Homo-oligomer: A and B are copies of this chain.
């Protein structure tokens, strides 16, 4: 089968790989029908995260179950499924509290590599959610988005307590930030301010529900958000970048008593304790427990109430994955979908 391997920063190749096999009785093997490239895949691509030798890539996927281990009871061969980027048993105390991304038996799907024609899914019963049938072709991108980028944006909006009467600020106009805006709109937010200086992303943000766009960054961006909120700051801020600047901006743009939901994987970010103390904000984030939201997200997509697949602006066959990485790295594409047949 064909699958994507990163050999070094900037060096991504699609290669012939061994077919995955059932290892644990809780595993399933799926035929991946669509996968994609994540903003987080760019960290090693850019040399910011270390690679330890060649690495299988990918953690987002939808597919069809091919075979299951003896202990799997909730999914069966032929089922069309969407799964989270973290495999979880969905039964431990942490999962039951809604934090499946921190399941006591968690397996990061990045270690499996779903940018491939087939993938082994650990803890299949807890990880995979069956769709109501074979997805119509036009829903494939949206269902794929649910696997990570939508689920992550959704978690950010929930962590930021976006809701009716709230003004939500979004720091980051990548796919996660844009889908955070979509989530905030679905959750009933009154006003959604997206920070972006790219016309195409501004347009998508507005399509997803943004009511205001702020082009300024850093202190000027914070000042602009205060200006739009009677000097108080946003009730809810989504941080979807993961840099020092974006985290500082998110905390400073939020009013006392407000909530920051942060989902950008923090790289070299340090939060000053005294500043956080006097900010009086709530801070919550981390790897999104996508599994918590998947059933509802699949329903919203299936009923065509949301269209998160619009974040994909480039589709390539998996054999051209290298071009997909380049396009995202150079910001020629927001999010790249890889087809596998």
* A277 interface neighbour in B230, B232, B266, Cβ under 8 Å: B266
Contact of A286 among B230, B231, B280, B287 (CB under 8 A): B280
Hey, which chain B residues are within 8 Å of A232, CB to CB? 93-94, 104
Q: Which residues from chain B contact A335 at a C-beta distance below 8 Å? A: none
Q: CB distance A277 to B257 under 8 Å?
A: no
Q: List 24 A-B contacts (CB under 8 A).
A: A94-B232, A94-B257, A97-B257, A101-B256, A102-B280, A104-B232, A244-B273, A247-B273, A262-B277, A266-B277, A268-B273, A269-B273, A270-B270, A270-B271, A270-B272, A276-B285, A276-B286, A277-B286, A278-B286, A278-B287, A280-B287, A281-B284, A282-B283, A283-B283
A266 vs B277: C-alpha distance in the bound complex, in angstroms? 7
Interface flag for A59 (CB, 8 Å): no
A99 interfacial contact with B, CB 8 Å: yes
Does chain B have a CB within 8 A of A10? no
- Residues of B near A267 (CB, < 8 A) are 273-274
CA distance A101 to B97 in the complex (A): 31
Query: Does A44 make an interface contact (CB < 8 A)?
Result: no
CB of B276 within 8 A of CB of A283, answer yes
Q: Which of A244, A268, A277 has the most CB of B within 10 A?
A: A277
Tally chain A residues at the interface, Cβ within 8 Å: 40
Q: Closest CB-CB distance, A272 to chain B, in whole Å?
A: 6
Q: Once the chains bind, are A230 and B93 in contact (CB under 8 Å)?
A: yes
Chain A window 248-277, contacts with chain B (Cβ cutoff 8 Å), 1 for yes, 0 for no: 000000011100001001111111111011
A101 to B268: give the CA distance in the assembly, Å: 31
Contact of A98 with B257 in the complex, beta carbons under 8 Å? yes
**A105 to nearest B CB, angstroms?**
12
Report copies per complex.
Answer: 2
Interchain nearest-CB distance for A152 vs B (Å): 12
The answer, among B93, B104, B273, B282, for a CB contact under 8 Å with A266, is: B273
| Interface assignment of A315: CB less than 8 Å from any CB of chain B | no
A279 located at the interface, meaning its Cβ lies under 8 Å from any Cβ of chain B in the complex: yes
* A99 interface neighbour in B94, B271, B280, Cβ under 8 Å: B280
Contacts of A285 in B (CB 8 A): 276-277, 280
Alpha-carbon distance between A321 and B282 when the two chains are bound, in angstroms:
37
Question: In the complex, what distance in Å separates the CA atom of A5 from the CA atom of B222?
Answer: 39
A256 CA to B88 CA in the complex, in Å?
14
- List chain B residues, Cβ under 8 A from A247: 273
Cα separation A255 to B277 with both chains bound (whole Å): 21
The residue on B at minimum CB distance from A284 is: B282
Bound together, the chains give a CA A280 to CA B273 distance in angstroms of 18
CB contact between A269 and one of B93, B98, B265, B274 (< 8 Å): that residue = B274
CB of B271 within 8 A of CB of A273, answer yes
Bound Cα distance A315, B68 (Å): 72
Q: Which residues of B contact A279 (CB under 8 A)?
A: 286
The 3 lowest CB-CB distance pairs between A and B, nearest first, are A269-B273, A266-B273, A102-B256
